[in-house]
Amino acid sequence: MTKAARAAPPETGSAFDPAVVELVELFFFAYRDFVKDADRLLETYQFGRAHHRVLHFVARRPGITIAALLDILKITKQSLARVLKDLVDAGFVETRAGPQDRRQRLLFPTAMGAALAQQLIRLQSQRFERVIADLGEPARGAAAQFLFAMIEEADRDRVLAHLAGAAQLPGQRPARVEAAR
């Protein structure tokens, strides 16, 4: 590709369905607002969204291996190492040696980490609960189906297995994902 071709703006026109482009934009705005409350809380600890994702999955799957976490997050070891170091140094996550293989590192939330994870999920759950209350209970199933369909088909079975095996946070009801297969 030439330098001029890389610098040229992408073509616009009738190649995209305007209703779909609108959905893409709505998704961006929804995500922006979905993360803003959590972002504010994370800022008080000088953490970002990467810290949030790691802490979330460690709290949901206490004892998760680093390899399993890398598979969920689809990030590099180097990226995870930086974020994990911050969380461990700040006392939110601890690592333990595996019971059979002492070289294996298992990740657990500390009491402080579990409390922060619960605060974060509460903030984000409240947004979902408000929307479902406004739209009615059928919106929950439609939202689950839509979000599940957005996941790459090759990852869907792993996501379902993760959801089925994830630890429940205190006061949390079991997840009901009725995914259209």
Q: What is the pLDDT of residues 13-53, one digit of tens each?
A: 568 899 999 999 999 999 999 999 999 999 999 999 999 99
Task: Answer whether residue 60 is part of any domain.
Answer: yes
Answer for the pair 116, 45: CB distance below 8 angstroms, yes or no: yes
Q: Which of 118, 140, 145 lies closest to 128, judged by CA?
A: 140
Domain span at residue 157 reads: 19-165
38 domain-assigned: yes
pLDDT over 70 at 97, yes or no: yes
Q: Does a structural domain hold residue 180?
A: no
Q: Residue 158 is part of a domain; what is its CATH number?
A: 1.10.10.10
Do 65 and 105 contact (CB within 8 A), yes or no?
yes
| In a domain? residue 51 | yes
List b or e across 152-166, with b for residues whose CB sees 16 or more CB atoms inside 10 angstroms.
eeeeeeebeebbeeb
CA atoms within 13 A on the CB side of 51: 25
- How confident is residue 180, by pLDDT bands cut at 50, 70 and 90? very low
pTM over 0.85: no
Which SS3 state, helix, strand or coil, does residue 103 take? coil
Instruction: Name the band, by pLDDT with cuts 50, 70 and 90, for residue 104.
Output: confident
Cβ atoms within 10 Å, residue 74? 8
DSSP 64: E
Q: Are 167 and 63 in contact (CB under 8 A)?
A: no
Asked if residue 176 belongs to a domain, the reply is no
Residue 170 lies in a domain: no
Residue 175 within a domain = no
Q: Is residue 3 part of a domain?
A: no
State how many domains the chain has.
Answer: 1
